[in-house]
A and B are shown apart, each in its own frame.
Chain A
Amino acid sequence: MFEFILPPAILMIAGAVLIGVARPALRPLIALATPLITLYAIWQVPDGVQLTATFLGYEVQFVEGSDLRRLFATVFAIMGFGGALFAFRQSKWWELSAALMYAAGAIGVSFAGDLIVMFLFWELMALFSTVVVWCGGTERARAAGIRYAIIHLVGGIVLKIGIEGLIIHTGSPEIRALTLGNFDTWMIFIGVLINAAAPPISVWLADAYPESSPMGGVFLSAFTTKTAVLALIMLFPGTELLVWLGLIMIFYGIIWALLENDMRRILSYSIVNQVGFMVVGVGIGTELALNGAAAHAFAHIIYKGLLFMSAGAVLYQTGVRKCSNLGGLFRTMPLTTVCGTIGALAISAFPWTSGFISKSMISSGAAYEHMALVWYLLVAASAGVFLHAGIKFPWFVFFQKDSGLRPPEAPWNMRAAMIFFSIICIGLGVFPGLLYSLLPYPVDYKPYTPDHVLSQLQLLLFAGLAFFVMLPMMKRTLTITLDFDYFYRRMIPKIAGFIDRSLASARDRTIEAVLSGGSRAITQVRVQSYRFFSSRSPMGQMAIWMAVLLAVIVLMAFSRG
């Protein structure tokens, strides 16, 4: 029964390498074909462990199939194709190649049968996502990429400590549901949560992603946080702490996105917000909620990719990234406006979009478990998503005031990618069965009941009313908002600098004191030598000094002996 299975991740890596060595004319073709071939391979992976290998003396499970794993790998491959379509004419080949390597890491994690393989692909993602950030090509991108890499390498080390501890203490690297109870599982938990952008270290996402190129942001939005969600579903389903962490992520995302001025940073904060919904779903841990988390990850990757595409198209065409300098672009970029708005409606879970059929599973999951507080907060958060991403993003970028910018519509391949993803967003919303049939647990859930649709419309439209009523308070300002990165970009350097400067000046003062004191003493001895070495000094004094000298010598002799 062990037929030969070509690991999908290896196919993707091969394609990424091939881009580098191929003739320039062939590169776009390879970039577009690789995700499709990988997608085919993903659907060929049957359930159960398919491929094992020996690594460092361990029998590792290189490929293991299940509904959940195929679901995530499928959306990662679709994202790889959509991103490549959006980018292949504009990106440099190394950006495409790095992006596909990054996608390969995500697909590898999806199929990893044990923690060792998972860790290897986890690090592959960390490395190549950093390269994608650097492909932004600016000084800011370079600096942000280094900060990003440091966080992910530290997160990787934490994860590795946990995995090694677990292997030593239980003897098995198998991926299975763990309970938080000892050092090892906590380390794995923290390592995974760092990649999920959980608090307090959420800011790496909003710090690094907006510095990438207009094309790179599309890839970055998809993989890292969602593989972390997959890892949480497999490793920590039903961990109650996740519900509260997820709720913090949700509201952190909303508040910081409301304050933000940079359009792609708004979208980055809203990634944290959306991943928060998934983390809550994992924390609730019922079949419905886990289905919801998985479905929401799928839907989210597509509509967030679409939002990053529309923002990328605007950035590519205008070079402007701040909302305060944008506006009125619907005149000359109508297609980008429509597609961006579709993405914005989908993220807001408007009926007949993909967000509606997935997010409602999570909040229903809370309702069926009688988690009243969680449910009320999730409903408020759904309104808040419409506020910060559903209206704010399209309003400030495409409408609001006339910025005077009249950029032409985006290039054809960017438009094609946006149309492709818009179709998926609406298609999944209208035909939820398409997505529900791929979910890990059997689905007995009806999203389209009259009361559900109407209550969601009430909620969202009145949230929209609140937006326009409060518009004067939301005027964009040329500001950034302090976040956790303040601690490592300003406060710790400040403290370190203070200690450094204090020590340096203490050292200088000591040296100066010793030198000046010593030279003063020598001068004294030279100038007033008669007081110390004079023949006129009394005999008694001489005798005392001789005695003192002898005493010192005796003491030294004793202390040495």
Chain B
Amino acid sequence: MSQSPLPQNPEKQPDHDHWLVRPKTIRLLWWIFGAILALTVAGQFFVHFHTYFGVDGWFGFYALYGFLTCVGMVVGAKLLGFLLKRPDDYYFRETELAPSQLTDKVRTEEGGKDV
């Protein structure tokens, strides 16, 4: 991997940061995003949606269905995460069986650095 020392962030104040991440721009982006969302729903007044199964012909079905299923998936993933998440180095911790040699090698490679 090419390792030139990476220059650190020279700009500290938010106002001097990249224009894209200034709070003002972000507020503007939210407005634009909201307008586009409204447009896609409003467009349904002008475009007739083909209905396959009934429910999918309701007004704003795709918007609501997309939003709700995504919220459901995020929440579901979060709940599953409580059960299944483990520390990052779970498989590299010494156990009674994992050869400590392997653990050491991985540790040396990573050298405390994030990889």
Contact = CB atoms under 8 A, between A and B. Distances in A.
B53 to A, nearest CB: 5
B73 interface: yes
A319 B115 contact: yes
A470 B74 contact: yes
Nearest to A254: B73
A450 B47 contact: yes
A318 B71 contact: no
Interface centre among A456, A460, A462, A466 (most CB of B within 10 A): A462
Interface string B43-81: 110011110110010001011111101110111111011
A479 B70 contact: no
Contact of B84 (A402, A464, A481): A481
A480 B74 contact: no
Nearest to B101: A139
A140 B106 contact: yes
Contacts of B53: 367, 372, 375-376
A87 B91 CA distance: 30
A407 B4 CA distance: 9
B37 A455 contact: no
Interface in B1-23: 1-4, 6-9, 17-18, 20-21
Contacts of B56: 376, 379
B102 A473 contact: no
Given A383-B69, A478-B88, A480-B86, A258 B74 contact: yes
Contacts of B78: 473
Contacts of A140: 106, 109
B91 to A, nearest CB: 6
Contact of B36 (A318, A450, A461): A461
Interface residues of A, number: 75
Contacts of A375: 52-53
Interface string A106-143: 00000000000000000000000000000000111001
A330 B106 CA distance: 31
B62 A459 contact: yes
A473 B75 contact: yes
Interface string A403-417: 011111000000000
Interface string A490-501: 100110110001
B8 A404 contact: yes
A405 B8 CA distance: 6
B105 interface: yes
A384 interface: yes
Contacts of A474: 74
A321 B96 CA distance: 29
Nearest to B9: A404
A551 interface: no
Contacts of A493: 97-98
Contacts of A370: 52
A489 B91 contact: yes
A246 B109 CA distance: 38
A443 to B, nearest CB: 19
Contacts of B41: 458
A259 B6 contact: no
A367 B53 CA distance: 8
B77 A258 contact: yes
Nearest to B71: A466
Contacts of B20: 330
A69 interface: no
Contact of B6 (A318, A462, A464, A473): A318
Contact of B18 (A331, A379, A466): A331
A457 interface: yes
A153 interface: no
Given A214-B1, A459-B62, A451 B48 contact: yes
B40 A458 contact: yes
B115 A383 contact: no
B6 A451 contact: no
B49 to A, nearest CB: 5
A451 B86 contact: no
A489 B48 CA distance: 54
Closest 6 CB pairs of A and B: A466-B70, A458-B62, A380-B69, A459-B66, A258-B77, A462-B66
14 contacts: A259-B77, A319-B113, A330-B18, A375-B53, A383-B70, A402-B9, A450-B47, A455-B49, A459-B62, A459-B66, A461-B63, A462-B37, A473-B75, A494-B97
Given A258-B77, A451-B50, A493-B98, 15 more contacts: A255-B73, A255-B77, A319-B113, A321-B114, A367-B52, A379-B65, A387-B70, A454-B43, A461-B37, A461-B63, A463-B66, A464-B33, A465-B33, A479-B88, A482-B86
